[in-house]
Amino acid sequence: MCPFCGLLCDDIDIVSADGKLNAVSVNCPIAKALYHESLNLPEKPAEIRGRRVTHTDAIREAAQLIRKSKSPIVAGLQTDVAGARSALALADRIGAVIADEHSRSHHLVSGRLQTYGGFLTTLTEVKNRADLIIFLGDKLLSQFPRLLEWIELGTNSEFGFISDRNFAWIGKCSSNDSARFEEPPLLLQCELDQVGQITSILRASFEPRRNVVPSPELFPRKSMNRLVNLIRDAQYSVLLWSTEDFNFSLGDLAVDAIFRLIDSINRERRCAGMPLSNSCATTTVNQVATWQCGKPLPLNFRSGSPEFHPTQYAYDSILERNDADLVIWVGGLERTVPAFDTSAELIRISTKNPGHSDVFIPVGVPGIHHSTHLFRTDSVVSLYQKALTQKKCASSAEIINAILSELDNWSHVNSNFWWNSIRPD
Ligand code: SF4
């Protein structure tokens, strides 16, 4: 199983050539690059303020920084099920805010579902049942390079429920992307922030209204009509978008317009949404938070019980307000490391160390250096992957559990240190 995007493709061949493992045959540039990078991850020492130290010393120093901190935040969360459980246990234990990088985009969908409900589907149902798939956005095929393999008929229609499938694209579809379809999709070319406008106009065609909603000249009427007819002719249409793409100002209105169109089409025929998450870690940590606390991220444990607020406790809001004196960055699956433009102290538990950390503790990549469970983007499948290499790299969960044990030792001699309910296992 490939852990490098939300699709979690489970057909990756890892081959050994010249004494090195690699995934050369996979038809995906992201997987090729990240398998290569991860399988050749150089060994890194633990560090305290740039000075090499043993793991034990780094863990002790991390526990010491946590003890001194008054308002810590557990962030990043580019980790697996075990890492998310341990991170939540740590946040609960020390009264921290816990927020993943993509909680705002995740909330665009989860918030809509909580407030108004909505129709979503799974990748398997898209694969086997959808006779019309509408892509929304700009970069779906570069963010999910094997998406078409997942949903193209012929390779994947195991049950033969449908014999034909049409594609449409609202947004920007490059000529390279268009050429990847057997037949080019019906294209409604627009900017990303106009997708909501187009879906609202389309919705008028599926609602009992007296007045015709005029289509702005910007969007060709002929293509709009063709798309309306395609939807009318389809038994089961699916609208597919990348959640992270819609994290722009008023992106929530665009996502709401998509859900409203789905609701309207469902008056007479079947339609569902399929939001895709770029990172399987986002889906995974939110699943774990929901089953452990009954709420998704971001959560604040400072009052002693988990409080949810989608914007107030978002990672960027906390840093902007300078409301954290310590950032505990939990990584493993991150492709890049964000800049820390903050005066807060930093404990980095990660594969990467670009410097500026007060404590750096190296870990391995889930599914490469240690066994892992991760949730696929549609949240209905959790996949297991055994470690691929014998190279010893600790997991984020192991490091956080070691920090928790260090805090335990200390709490035995300091009865004021509180003890909360979430356990890592
Ligand atoms: S599409 Fe995503 S999960 Fe599949 S091989 Fe590429 S990066 Fe991995």
Distance 165 CA to ligand 1 centre (A): 23
Task: Return the best residue to mutate from 5, 37, 141, 279 for the ligand 1 pocket (most ligand atoms within 8 A of CB).
Answer: 5
CA distances from 213 to 12, 197, 198, 223, 224 (A): 48, 12, 11, 15, 12
CA distances from 291 to 8, 125, 240, 394 (A): 21, 24, 26, 25
- Provide the pLDDT for residue 154: 62
Pairing of strands 307-308, 326-330: unpaired
Instruction: Tell me what the mean pLDDT of segment 111-116 comes to.
Output: 90
Chain-wide mean pLDDT for the chain?
89
CA–CA distance, 234 with 271 (Å, rounded to integer): 9
- Are 87 and 424 in contact by the 8 Å Cβ rule? The answer is no
Band of pLDDT at residue 419, cut at 50, 70 and 90? very low
- Count CB atoms within 10 A of the CB of residue 20: 10
Residue 149 placed within a domain: yes
Distance 378 CA to ligand 1 centre (A): 15
Q: Which atom of ligand 1 is nearest to the CA of 12?
A: 5
- Provide the pLDDT for residue 415: 41
Instruction: Tell me what the mean pLDDT of segment 33-56 comes to.
Output: 92
Q: Which atom of ligand 1 is nearest to the CA of 28?
A: 6
Summarised one tens digit per residue, pLDDT across range 66-87 is: 999 999 999 999 999 999 999 9
- Provide the pLDDT for residue 219: 72
- Using the predicted structure, report yes or no on whether residue 152 has a pLDDT greater than 80: no
Q: Which atom of ligand 1 is nearest to the CA of 8?
A: 3
- Using the predicted structure, report yes or no on whether residue 92 has a pLDDT greater than 50: yes
Token pair recorded at residue 227? 């798309």
Task: Return the best residue to mutate from 1, 8, 9, 368 for the ligand 1 pocket (most ligand atoms within 8 A of CB).
Answer: 9
In a shared domain, residues 126 and 256: yes
For the chain, the domain total comes to 2
In a shared domain, residues 384 and 242: no
Q: What are phi and psi of 198, to 5 degrees?
A: -65, -45
Range of the domain at 402: 45-102+280-411
Q: What's the pTM?
A: 0.90
- Provide the pLDDT for residue 414: 46
In a shared domain, residues 311 and 262: no
In a shared domain, residues 63 and 119: no
CA–CA distance, 142 with 138 (Å, rounded to integer): 9
In a shared domain, residues 307 and 379: yes
Question: Between 419 and 181, whose confidence is greater?
Answer: 181
Question: Between 304 and 62, whose confidence is greater?
Answer: 62
Strand order in the sheet with 186-189: 186-189, 166-171, 132-137, 236-242, 270-276
Dihedral sign for Cα atoms in the order 243, 245, 247, 249: negative
In a shared domain, residues 323 and 389: yes
DSSP conformation letters of 83-135: HHHHHHHHHHHHT-EE--TTHHHHHHHHHHHHHH---B--HHHHHHH-SEEEE
Residue 96 placed within a domain: yes
Summarised one tens digit per residue, pLDDT across range 359-418 is: 999 999 999 999 999 999 999 989 999 998 887 789 999 999 999 999 988 765 444 444
**What's the CATH code of the domain at 375?**
3.40.50.740
Using a pLDDT cut of 90, give the percent of the chain over it: 69
In a shared domain, residues 263 and 293: no
- Provide the pLDDT for residue 418: 45
Band of pLDDT at residue 163, cut at 50, 70 and 90? confident
Summarised one tens digit per residue, pLDDT across range 267-297 is: 999 999 999 999 999 999 999 999 999 999 9
In a shared domain, residues 132 and 173: yes
**What's the CATH code of the domain at 272?**
3.40.228.10
Residue 33 placed within a domain: no
Residue 66 placed within a domain: yes
Q: Length of the chain, please?
A: 425
Domain stops at, among 276, 294, 310: 276
Pairing of strands 72-76, 97-98: parallel
- Provide the pLDDT for residue 237: 97
Residue 10 placed within a domain: no
Of 65-74, 188-197, 330-339, the poorest mean pLDDT is in 330-339
Q: Is the backbone of residue 95 left (phi > 0), alpha (psi -120 to 50) or beta?
A: left
In a shared domain, residues 269 and 289: no
Domain stops at, among 220, 255, 276: 276
Dihedral sign for Cα atoms in the order 158, 162, 164, 168: negative
Q: What angle do CA 76, 14, 35 make, to 5 degrees?
A: 30
- Using the predicted structure, report yes or no on whether residue 21 has a pLDDT greater than 80: no
Of 277, 278, 299, the C-alpha closest to 288 is 299
In a shared domain, residues 253 and 110: yes
CA–CA distance, 2 with 13 (Å, rounded to integer): 10
Band of pLDDT at residue 335, cut at 50, 70 and 90? confident
- Count CB atoms within 10 A of the CB of residue 365: 28
Distance 406 CA to ligand 1 centre (A): 37
Write down the residue that tokens 């993509």 correspond to.
102
- Using the predicted structure, report yes or no on whether residue 162 has a pLDDT greater than 70: yes
CA–CA distance, 158 with 347 (Å, rounded to integer): 48
Domain stops at, among 276, 293, 327: 276
- Count CB atoms within 10 A of the CB of residue 158: 9
Using a pLDDT cut of 70, give the percent of the chain over it: 92
- Provide the pLDDT for residue 102: 85
- Are 44 and 362 in contact by the 8 Å Cβ rule? The answer is yes
Of 7, 8, 35, 6, the C-alpha closest to 23 is 35
In a shared domain, residues 347 and 331: yes
- Provide the pLDDT for residue 27: 87
- Provide the pLDDT for residue 222: 87
- Count CB atoms within 10 A of the CB of residue 279: 24
- Provide the pLDDT for residue 87: 97
One-letter identity of residue 253: L
Helices (H) and strands (E) in the chain, counts: 14, 18
Instruction: Tell me what the mean pLDDT of segment 288-310 comes to.
Output: 93
In a shared domain, residues 116 and 217: yes
